[in-house]
Structure 1
């Protein structure tokens, strides 16, 4: 503060020496604007927590670097996470402001980009005699002249320019030319909510900001409500932490809630009320929510807006499976392909998902080992904005309370989409009140039986908490594309009337088997079938084979082993994912015949589950060479030498063996057993004791995971020589295996290899 006061005094004194007609307030305003770059975005002495590590990284990037070339440093993250605050702290850091750079410039890119405004803002910062700056002096100059002036002033000087809140590649291309490369370690610092823009502009990898942890969230809320020098009443500690936790680590949410709490009585009951109604508190500040998050949404291309708004269909904290979300988008008609595109609908949808992730509008909740996203979710504040926008645009009507159910008949809603998320209402209470033109119904409350035949234009029915009897009149829903229910007892022959059905999901197992009617072979548009119960699929009859079988089916889950016949597999030639449930019975002749899957030339993922204690030879399986992922779960009791033959699969990248699929105490791999493409190997509840293998057995392995392998005495020490190996993870394993893992890690560290990490969780303390 003393330094700022001194600099302010010098600026003002300089102003009085050069002009006598300036108003005092105007001088102060101009001086302060110049000092901080812009008055529109700066929050004076923000109370911030949890940015120390981020600040250290950014300062290091700005001050160091082997190259003398101009470098572009970028900060990215979702709206409200503190990108501007972090950039401001770096901009005002003593080492940055007074010691390293000759000149500092701060420009903010408004939502509607105006190059002239940016150039004038830069010139104001550059001008040493700020009080003499007057935008009218540049009225007669065009943008190219102004750009030349900025470039001239920066040329030859070591500068730092902060470009705050940039939204597109085009905007960066329009401004990039004014920053000369003076070969003197000048820097440009960008903040953006668009990861793609950050990657495009940066000369190094973007710095992605993370959400605050609970400790820093509580500190931020506490200090903003009570001040840095004032302690909070002890009785508000626990409830305060609960409120902070519900803010999900987003500083903007914490600031909104802190402002609300500051105006309330500091009593336990008042704070408990805020904790109960946090979503409502955020909803009463729509101007703030729209101000921060609206930019991200309104910059979306038109094809991504319905995809984003569709997240309002799901309840709070709901994690949406990737494949499920993609199938819903396809069924809703959100995915469009150009006539020249060679990509499938699923590939286009995956690109849309990646785009929304890069814009920090949805978050990855679960990832596979290779970085692929398994499930998505949305931050609570973004969800509130999504709900507001969906309501304003009549995209979907969401019922979250019983009161909203009661007012449903009076709603003039023409969006055709409805989502019922109140756990206390029954579908029978409202389903008959919906308009006949309803296209999509999402029901996340319990019920037993509802007729839907009235909605003859229905495309989507998501009903995951239902006991479904599949009434015959239901099959009159000719336009239905997506059906998801908890369970049903059987499928009628008339299901073939659902000629447009693309996705059929049944979650829970009911009874022993479900028989799928043979008429399913007439449903040419089926793409995704997930059945929680073991399901018998009869072979297509000759007449059905003649009309083209199921050419679009990509996933079939729940198929019982009785149905693993050549006729069935040849009738689903484009299948990519298959899950088979294997059981032992007199009818199941699987142990006596070859299971030939070679006709499934596009199959990439296969999961086999077995419950019975009856051995099956792995040689009974003829796996397709296209297979990339294989999971064997249950008591197959393959001898270990048969497991070794899986090395013959040339494209196998993931192998998971769970719950005793193999028998024997020793797995010995010969020099000929090379899993050439394997990247992930997971063992769970295996009872072998010795593992004999070399680094050549798994030349491309990246991740080894052992869970509950308590009898395993050692991991092959040669594994340290696998140059691609990144991690070894042990969960509830024995002392011997743990010691081997630590020894491998230590040997690699001694040789200077710090890329291999060993993680040990909850030791068994055995062997």
Structure 2
């Protein structure tokens, strides 16, 4: 069935809407078929191991169940047979070529509408001045002359202005005088290799009719050779516009010389993988989204270019129109294409009423390019939708799942990966050494490479930590998810004025996934009303519950009605409320793969958690101290985030007897009492461990172990009572973790491990409450891969720290906070040579900032003292490679030689002097 749907998806991609409707129906029935079979299998599995008499009674009941299951399967299969027959009529499965040919006229028309030409001039370009300057310098080798780039790529999401930018560079006078020959080739999704190569050769040689005919009769091999040789002999520039796939380049690459040549390629693409595939050492430029000021400037140019004369309107109308335009531009979020479409639409509307109406329907109007003759080209969704259409089948559900997040949300990669795995959308396609989590991460990374989502934050290890999605791309995602009945997103936060009944009676039956956002106290009432319109086929549910009193009733309703749930996320419950009892009906959710309720205390872990035989991720917080034996039945548990207010009895027994022992990757929140290290060492695939020391730590270590954590990469150790005088020896534990790259210690220690006792892979180290008497810097500065270091509260009890010559040669981020006894910090020459972020907070005894920092190219500096600071006469100039400067409770001046900090005692006086000779563009001050 998956293979069949994959073939049908090709027809949908070619624009056949009839097939699209049938595919949705078949997919829904496939889900129903899976639900029926899984439910029966789980019921049979749960009856195993019971007594003989009960087995006989269950056997007779099973005959009835088999009959019911058979009837359901027969009905579903009949529906699928009917619809597959319909699909075959449209060319699916029997002849995909015929189906594609039937839609080829549509594809050809769309391609022609999107065709870009080199000679077309756009005089209304905004925000690209620096981009043009940089790309021209690279092409003409004014920048980086000793290592010139052969391939320069412009990458970004659809509508960002890649082609416009490339055209400006292509037409630039400096570029025109630098190269001997030029050629522009529009590639698009369907690339005719022969036509592209012929067009480039025609452009190079300015051939007459006879020469053109000769080229047309030349074989493909000879044509590629002629182009290759020509570019070796002369200095040529080829612009390959809108190249989509690596396969396209593989078909073209034989015509382009490698190695020593003065010719260059400028290409535009939405897919960064394409740029890297063309040339691993090439330069990749990503245009930025326009700022509010740039957006307004572009809007004005395009609006008045359409023939609008502001002098013909009433001044009050103009003022109101400007207010409305500014509000609508926010929805464009700096995407040039959306701004251009908006300007074109508004140029056709002349009254305030029409503009008000436009504002209410801004998403649909911009997305569909309403009232444009060439709407297929002008529609934003048409352009952005191409990126979705070109996604391979396994990536489409990953993209559609983004519709579950609210607008402007920062999406955490780890969380989404676990959800995608729980839903069954991730399957191992690569090396057997990869995990499902690795595969899910690769899928999201590919969406980044395809410019469909933007990276928000990178982790210290260089992996994507979080990302966001452009507002209009999200609107497309929500629309596609709704059309395909994939996921429904309901945002009730801005519907305070509507009665509950009107909000909750939206027909959302037969829904597989539902995300609800609401911050009102009536959330629970709204949810109860909505549930009446949803059948039991729901697989995914995200709902915030704000009303504690109604919470248990809401959860009981969910557990009784939505028995097919695979993912249940309950969020936004205030942590400080009294404890909650989970209803016994929660054990009915036998298909559950992910259960997350981290912000509310539950009284106990119920025994019916053991019914969740397929559970993969569990995130709960409890006040009870017992893990039920039934949890050992969980066969697929991979991630356990378990926060308890007291010592958990039975955790060691659980780890020794659980059927998930070889699958567990995450253990967060467990305590050392009633646990020994050997229990953890048996978990061969454990990657992340966070433990609390609440008993005898020596007994936890329990004899020196020869075994080590072979796959552990993240370790956090915290002493439960940080105010007692107990000190622990962490060296044996550190030695058992030779591969970790993230370590957080929050406990008084007997001694700091030596350099050779730390993992050589350590990248991020955070220290709190260590109460060290000796300076830790001589040890820490020698860690070979350390990039992030935090020395926090009470970690160092001495008064002087020294970073010696050449120390911390790879450190990029350093934080010192709440080191009250620290008086002197020395930084010797060439220490901290790569430091990009520095934060000093609440180090009240520190007399001065080290002179050794004056030669460090620091990008981001944060200094904060709430009561006591440095003396006015003590200054330090720090070089800045621009970007961001955040200073708290400080006085700042800009000097000709860099940034001068003045920090006063006991007072907060803000004074900024900006000498004209020292102001540098791009420097941003955020003063709090």
Q: Residue 6 of structure 1 aligns with which residue?
A: none
1:364-384: CA deviation from partner (whole Å, max 9, x where unpaired): 212223432211221111111
1:422-471: CA deviation from partner (whole Å, max 9, x where unpaired): 65652212224323233222335656223223333321222323596422
Does structure 1 residue 522 correspond to structure 2 residue 633?
yes
- Of 152, 155, 176, the residue aligned with 1:76 is 155
Cα deviation for residue 309 of structure 1 reads 1.5
Aligned residue for 1:341, secondary structure, equals coil
Distance 1:242 1:741 in 2: 49
- Of 588, 599, 610, the residue aligned with 1:496 is 610
Aligned residue for 1:738, secondary structure, equals coil
**Contact in 1 for aligned 2:801/2:824 (Cα 8 Å):** yes
Distance 2:605 2:700 in 1: 29
Moved more, 52-61 or 335-344: 335-344
Structure 2 CA distance for partners of 1:125 and 1:648, relative to 1, 3 Å? same
- Of 47, 52, 55, the residue aligned with 2:129 is 52
Q: Residue 87 of structure 1 aligns with which residue?
A: 166
Q: Residue 114 of structure 1 aligns with which residue?
A: 192
Q: Residue 632 of structure 1 aligns with which residue?
A: 745
Q: Residue 550 of structure 1 aligns with which residue?
A: 661
- Residues 293-692 of structure 1 mapped to structure 2, 5 A cutoff: 293-338=384-429, 341-400=432-491, 405-409=504-508, 413=510, 416-421=512-517, 426-444=526-544, 446=546, 448=551, 449-450=554-555, 451=557, 452-465=559-572, 469-485=581-597, 486-489=599-602, 490-506=604-620, 515-534=626-645, 536-539=647-650, 545=656, 548=659, 550-562=661-673, 564-566=675-677, 568-570=679-681, 572-581=683-692, 588-590=694-696, 593=699, 595=701, 601=709, 602-609=711-718, 610=720, 612-619=722-729, 622-623=732-733, 624-626=736-738, 627-633=740-746, 636-638=747-749, 642-643=751-752, 648-651=757-760, 653-657=762-766, 661-663=769-771, 667=775, 674-686=782-794, 688=797, 689-692=799-802
Structure 2 CA distance for partners of 1:191 and 1:755, relative to 1, 3 Å? same
TM score, norm. by length of structure 1: 0.80
Structure 2 CA distance for partners of 1:110 and 1:445, relative to 1, 3 Å? farther
Q: Residue 18 of structure 1 aligns with which residue?
A: none
Structure 2 CA distance for partners of 1:454 and 1:646, relative to 1, 3 Å? farther
Moved more, 602-611 or 666-675: 666-675
Aligned residue for 1:550, secondary structure, equals coil
Cα deviation for residue 655 of structure 1 reads 5.0
Distance 2:330 2:138 in 1: 32
Aligned residues: 706
1:615-646: CA deviation from partner (whole Å, max 9, x where unpaired): 3313167323333322234xx4557xx24557
Structure 2 CA distance for partners of 1:632 and 1:182, relative to 1, 3 Å? closer
Over the aligned positions, Cα root-mean-square deviation in angstroms equals 4.1
Q: Residue 283 of structure 2 aligns with which residue?
A: 205
Cα deviation for residue 754 of structure 1 reads 9.9
Cα deviation for residue 122 of structure 1 reads 3.0
Aligned residue for 1:614, secondary structure, equals coil
1:224-276: CA deviation from partner (whole Å, max 9, x where unpaired): 23459988955666665454344332222322333333334475x87676666
Structure 2 CA distance for partners of 1:637 and 1:145, relative to 1, 3 Å? closer
Distance 2:222 2:451 in 1: 36
Distance 2:406 2:145 in 1: 50
Distance 1:181 1:570 in 2: 52
Distance 1:699 1:155 in 2: 43
Cα deviation for residue 39 of structure 1 reads 5.5
Distance 1:646 1:758 in 2: 33
Gaps of 5+ in 2: 1-113, 371-375, 496-501, 575-579, 859-878, 891-902, 906-928
Q: Residue 761 of structure 1 aligns with which residue?
A: 887
1:47-106: CA deviation from partner (whole Å, max 9, x where unpaired): 222211111111011111647999222111122211111101011112223x22232211
Distance 2:541 2:202 in 1: 55
Distance 1:684 1:421 in 2: 37
Structure 2 CA distance for partners of 1:550 and 1:672, relative to 1, 3 Å? closer
Does structure 1 residue 718 correspond to structure 2 residue 828?
yes
Distance 2:439 2:429 in 1: 10
Structure 2 CA distance for partners of 1:377 and 1:694, relative to 1, 3 Å? same
**Contact in 2 for aligned 1:211/1:248 (Cα 8 Å):** yes
Aligned residue for 2:255, secondary structure, equals coil
Higher relative contact order structure (alpha carbons within 8 Å, sequence separation ≥ 6): 1
Moved more, 373-382 or 660-669: 660-669
Aligned residue for 2:595, secondary structure, equals strand
Distance 1:676 1:527 in 2: 32
